[in-house]
Amino acid sequence: MHAHLLNASHDVSRRSWLASANPGAGDFPLQNLPFGVFREAGSPDSFRGGVAIGDQVLNLRALAGEGLLQGDAAAALQACTGDTLNGLLALGAPAWSALRHGLFDLLLDNAAEPVQQAVRRCLVPLSQIEHRLPTQPGDYTDFYTSIDHALNVGRLIFPERPLTPNFQWLPIAYHGRVSSMGVSGQRFHRPMGQSLPVGASAPVYGPCARLDYELELAIYIGPGNALGQPIGLGQAESHIFGIGLLNDWSARDHQFWEMAPLGPFLGKNFATTVSPWIVTLEALAPYRLPWSRPAEHPQPLPYLEAASNREHGAIDIQLQVWLSTAAQRQTGRSATCLSKTSFRHQYWSIGQMVTQHTVGGCNLQPGDVLGSGTVSGPAPGEAGAIIELTEGGRKPLDLGHGEKRTFLEDGDMISLTGWCEKPGYARIGFGQCRGEVLPAVGS
């Protein structure tokens, strides 16, 4: 199966018998069908797999009981009946596609009335559910793959040499912490730690004073690879199930002090928030773009080159960051849009991230998460972190009504949103990735 190829499931003219699932009605039209894990809010029931469709979620455990699907689609559906999607992700692209097309057909407006009635019995309003992580990741690796982000942050620390010598030669990454990963709605306490104040000769201990967010994508691994067996770039995307939103919260003062000589530790391990829904690579096919590297830049080494990556390795995913302060919520004021950009600007592709991760023989596992790294674009309003927007805190953001921000304050809520749109195709969305900063404890 080739996730970049178009098929009937991308046809914008196809309509569903569920009115809210038709193009233009929201994030989750018939042409999307993203996967997550849910239960009815406040229910003692166990979590189970679901698919967002219009303003509803399709209960996949209940659907399996209806016996409407056969063959590979039925086997893939059965893998969604537990409290994690790891089993589905392990099955691979042919099974994923069979299930997606099976669900698509059940929801089409020409489905038989008994089929429609059976599927209706499996629908739950999105407004009445709660989520958990869509997979149980064994590992989480966060990349650093936006050259615009690297330049913006690098200029704050090393103005004469903002890019490290390796950035243009390989997708850089560090291994993150799965235990502190949470789903949208996550609330976390401002972290404690060490930092070195400007001009000081010794560090101080205390709550983070330079708390930041990072606008990223979560890349979900499907079938893994055996230990010692790298994944070539031409096959890398067959190991990717889909993409969600991810906020890599960052304690900048702690991070910059501890990153000498090793990578992020306490500056990153206190919280990571992901969106509830995974949009499949197949659903993203209409929004694929050629991946390119400026001719004057170093070109990838052969193991990070493939014709398929050059032809369709980039994805045009529109992304926004919203800040809602405690004062805004208390007075009924709207959240502030801090930035907007697109994943198409990323310097390294999702396939290159997978290949680089495994080139030394590291074995990925179904359900693992790769963070794309902060997504920043070339224009000033496209920065994916507040440290970029405020130039390290030197230029506060004016939120109006007397509120300013250099870094995040207690009570601040950050929401990431994403969508894809293109003339002739349905607009599909990623839902929301929201997290809230609580006051520090132990100070």
Catalytic residues: 149
Let me know the angle formed at the C-alpha of 137 by 245 and 128, rounded to the nearest 5 degrees. Answer: 55
Cβ atoms of 274 and 181 closer than 8 Å: yes
Per-residue buried b or exposed e for 169-195, using 16+ beta carbons within 10 Å of the residue's own CB:
ebbbbeebbbebbbbbebebbbbbbeb
Tokens 């099974």 — which residue?
Answer: 95
Q: What is the DSSP string of 64-105?
A: HHHT---HHHHHHHHTTSSS-SHHHHHH-HHHHHHHHHHHHH
What are the CA-CA distances from residue 56 to residues 21, 27, 124 (Å)? 9, 11, 5
Q: Quote the CA–CA distance of 234 and 311 in Å, as a whole number.
A: 11
DSSP calls for 409-420: -TT-EEEEEEEE
Residues with Cβ < 8 Å from 218, sequence gap 6 or more? 243, 244, 245, 246, 274, 275, 278, 369, 370, 371, 372
User: What's at 2, amino acid-wise?
Assistant: H
| Residue 64, CA distances (Å) to 59, 61, 169 in order | 9, 5, 47
Alpha carbon dihedral 230, 178, 183, 409, in 10-degree steps, equals -120
Work out the angle at residue 218's Cα, subtended by the Cα atoms of residues 254 and 124, and round it to the nearest 5 degrees: 120
217 in Cβ contact with 248 (< 8 Å): no
Helix, strand, coil percent values for the chain (each to nearest 5): 25, 25, 45
As a whole number of Å, the end-to-end CA separation of the chain is: 54
- Residue owning tokens 């018939």: 30
